[in-house]
Amino acid sequence: MTLPHGSDDDQAADRYINAALRSRDAEAWRLLASDAYVEQTDRVLRAMLDRIAVARAHRTAERATARVRAQAGEITQAEYQRDAAEDATRATKTAHFETLVREHHRLIAPAARRLRGDDVRDELTDLVLALGSAIDAHRAATLVDGSEPTAADRALWARLTTLDVPGIADGEERTSLEELVKRHGARQDDLGRVLAGIILDVAGDATSVPRAALLTAWKKAITPTVATEQKTEFAAKGKGSLVTEKLRKTMGHLERKGLVKRSGPQDGQRLDVLDRPGLEELAGGQAP
C-alpha cells in the first residue's frame, strides 16, 4: 500500500488524513508516520488543530453577538435557543474530531521531532543559553565588585556579542548570544514575578514553603497563558507537564538571583525564602 499524495501536497494530505482519522486504518497511519511522510503528517495535523481553534473562537464571538441581539430584542428567545442548540451540536462533533486529531498527533509528533532534530536543537539551545547566562553573570559580578577584568575575561565577554545564534521563539531571527540571554532573562523575570507573588502569598511570615503548596496557584496563573499547541508539543517529548516544567525553571531562576533556595528530598521539596525584600521587589514588577 502506498499513499495517494506526495509529501509536498498538503491539501491532498489533509483530505487523506481527514478520512484516515475517521476510518482508523492502521496501515494508513503506519505510512503516514513513515520517515517519508511524518513531517507532512505532523504539519497537517497541526494545521487542523489551528483551524479548530480559530473556528471555536469564531463560534464564541457569534454566540456573544447572538446573546446581545436576543437581549436587545433583535431576535426572539426561541431563535436564540434554537441557534444555541445547533451550535452545541456542532461543538460536540468538533470536540470529538479534535480528540481524534490530538490522539494521533501525540503519536506522530515525537517521530517528526526526531526526524527534524528538534530535541537535539532544543538541548543545544538550552546549553548555549546556560553558557551565555553564566558568562553574563560572571561579567556582572566582576564589574559590581570593581575588579579589573583580565584579558581572558574580556575575551570571554566578547563572545556574548560576537556569537551569532538562532532565536528561541517562532519568528525570532538570528541574533547575538547577548541579546538572546537578555530576551530569555526578560521572559524568566515575567514568570519570576508571578512565582515571587505566589511564594509571598503562600509563605506569609514563614521562611519556608512546601513546593507542593505553590503548585495549585502556579497552575491557575500560568495555564491560561500557555497555548494548547505548546502543551501538546511538550507532552510529545515525553517530559510531562509544560506548566510544571516552567515552575521548575522559574524556581531555578529565583535561586540564581539569590532570592530562594530549594531544600529537602525531591518528594518533599521545600522552597526557603532567602531574600524577602528581593521577592517583594520582583513581585512588585521591578527586578532586584
Q: In the predicted model, what is the mean pLDDT of residues 234-247?
A: 78
DSSP code, position 165: E
**What pLDDT, in 10s, does the model give residues 33-49?**
999 999 999 999 999 99
Is the per-residue pLDDT at 159 higher than 80?
Answer: yes
**What pLDDT, in 10s, does the model give residues 52-97?**
989 988 998 999 999 999 999 999 999 999 999 999 999 999 999 9
Is the per-residue pLDDT at 288 higher than 50?
Answer: no
pLDDT band of residue 172 (cuts 50, 70, 90) is low
Comparing 135-149, 165-179, 210-224, which segment has the lowest mean pLDDT? 165-179
List Cα–Cα distances, 213 to 37, 210, 218, 269, in angstroms. Answer: 45, 5, 9, 10
- pLDDT given for residue 173 in this prediction: 74
pLDDT band of residue 238 (cuts 50, 70, 90) is low
Distance between the two ends of the chain, CA-based, in angstroms? 62
Cβ burial of 261 (10 Å; 0-12, 13-18, 19+) is middle
Q: In the predicted model, what is the mean pLDDT of residues 263-284?
A: 89
List Cα–Cα distances, 156 to 7, 95, 144, 152, 185, in angstroms. Answer: 45, 53, 17, 6, 19
- pLDDT given for residue 287 in this prediction: 44
Is the per-residue pLDDT at 152 higher than 50?
Answer: yes
Where helices occur in the chain by DSSP H, the ranges are 10-23, 26-32, 38-71, 77-116, 118-145, 151-162, 177-203, 211-222, 228-236, 242-256, 276-283
Residues 6+ apart with CB under 8 A from 232: 49, 102, 105, 106, 109
Comparing 56-65, 106-115, 174-183, which segment has the lowest mean pLDDT? 174-183
Comparing 95-99, 139-143, 229-233, which segment has the lowest mean pLDDT? 229-233
Nearest alpha-carbon partner for 133 in 256, 262, 288: 256
